[in-house]
Amino acid sequence: MDIRVTSPEIQDQMNKLFSSILLEQQKYMQVRKPDADKAHLVESALKEYTANRGKGFFYNYMSSGRGHGPFTEQIDGSIKYDLIGGIGPNILGHSHPLYIKAHLESACSDTVMCGNLQPYPEAAAITEMLMKNVSNSRLKHFWFTGSGSFANDLALKLIWQKKEPKYRLIACTKAFAGRSVATQDITHNEAYRQGMPQSVQVDHVPHFDQTDPENALEKTITALKEVVKANPNQHCALMMEIIQGEGGFIYGPKEYYEGVFNWAKENDLYIWIDEVQTFGRTRELFAFQNMGLDQYVDVVTVGKALQVCGALFTEELNPKPGLIAGTFNGSLTALNAGEKIIRYLTEGNFYGENGRIAELEHTFLSKLNHLSKNSCKGKINYSGGIGTMIAFEVGDASKDITIEFIKKLFENGIIAFMAGNQPTRVRLLLPLSLTDEHINEIFKIIEQTVLEVVK
């Protein structure tokens, strides 16, 4: 264990503790209903929490902090498959040895948070790992932020400073960029900014049209031309999620992005890619690498699975002093875990056409396809996605039936979430700790739930 204190006694205790925690957490490895005497605990804990924060929760879910692999336990003793991982952060699942190690190593440190004025080797190491893994691109720097939304705010500031006074932005319909004052305008869904004054001028153009792939590029380019014509010489950048998460994992082929990005470059726009949700989850560490778009990207934002957030950017976009700062880079545990995650993913057998991520994608999509052609014919009418980001539609893909489905799925032992509107999709962000045995059980639960809900 790579701990700060030098005492062999502490080293020895830490090693023992590591093994004991691993063994203890392995007790949580199968779907289980709540314990009868604890069944009320989640509801009462959430009632108080809801009263204090002023808003309720989507699921009756309160983690006990115990779980293993894809399994998570609640304070009522119930255990479920976690196929959404807090909408992204838990890419390795629960109680992964690497997470436990990061916690224990950091437990021997002198503070909790690492920041800009007092850096620690953990921050330098994760930055170095990130830069090492984008060496085929023009990205040269990485700056930490406190959230994915703030990583996007930072990206926007870098671009604005360079392009002053061209402050207008182009983003995509169905985009989700976060909840900050700036990113709520980039996010396409108007319901997320009710009553807000507009702070960023954003023109939304269609992303890849899955229903009309042949004409998708032309549709996007036509829309791009229209918005530029309507506001000539005012745009600074094109902001895109290559795989739209909240949209229901919508993406196009490499040629589509090349066409769009070539047009953007010809029109003097920076290319800003939001990988807050996609980082780590395709056949490469970054989705832009998966699509072979290394040469195009000017700014890339990351978060979630990395455990810390921030923006990678080119030398050209390195800002003037004073523009960017912030107290926190992240906790020492998060920074340590993030660096370990990059190492684990890139040095393990996860990426490439024959990696575990491609295998998970293939297995999930072929099993969904099988259900849609057999027992769930007419009840699962779409399945798609890429890497560990899988989506499918149930029934008429309305929001109501999708919510009913995922709530029933939760009751039956799987935590998933939804994405998109018209159609609304069931969204899974798979943990890498899934085995084939888990997947077989997961599909039995999905099939049973579809048959229960979709008549």
Ligand X SMILES: Cc1ncc(COP(=O)(O)O)c(C=O)c1O
Binding site for ligand X (CB under 6 A): 87, 147-149, 152, 176-178, 241, 245, 274, 276-277, 303, 309
Rounded to a whole number of angstroms, the minimum distance from the CB of residue 303 to ligand X is: 5
Rounded to a whole number of angstroms, the minimum distance from the CB of residue 405 to ligand X is: 21
Rounded to a whole number of angstroms, the minimum distance from the CB of residue 196 to ligand X is: 16
Give 134 or 186: the residue with its C-beta nearer to ligand X: 186
- DSSP-derived secondary structure letter, 166: -
Rounded to a whole number of angstroms, the minimum distance from the CB of residue 453 to ligand X is: 26
Under 8 Å between Cβ of 239 and 151: no
Give 148 or 280: the residue with its C-beta nearer to ligand X: 148
Under 8 Å between Cβ of 151 and 145: yes
Q: Which residue is closest to ligand X by CB? A: 148
- Alpha carbon distance 278, 285 (integer Å): 9
Give 76 or 241: the residue with its C-beta nearer to ligand X: 241
Give 106 or 149: the residue with its C-beta nearer to ligand X: 149
Rounded to a whole number of angstroms, the minimum distance from the CB of residue 305 to ligand X is: 11
Under 8 Å between Cβ of 264 and 159: no
Rounded to a whole number of angstroms, the minimum distance from the CB of residue 304 to ligand X is: 7
- Alpha carbon distance 134, 88 (integer Å): 21
Give 77 or 420: the residue with its C-beta nearer to ligand X: 420
Q: Where are the beta strands (DSSP E) in 118-189?
A: 139-145, 168-172
- Give the tokens for residue 232: 């000539």
Rounded to a whole number of angstroms, the minimum distance from the CB of residue 148 to ligand X is: 2
- Alpha carbon distance 114, 123 (integer Å): 8
Contacts of 167 (CB under 8 A, 6+ apart): 160, 200, 201, 234, 236
Give 139 or 306: the residue with its C-beta nearer to ligand X: 306
Give 277 or 383: the residue with its C-beta nearer to ligand X: 277
- Alpha carbon distance 241, 174 (integer Å): 10
Under 8 Å between Cβ of 304 and 88: yes
Q: Which residue is associated with the tokens 């269609």?
A: 206
The two beta strands, 139-145 and 380-386, are: unpaired
Phi, psi for 99 (deg, rounded to 5): -65, -45
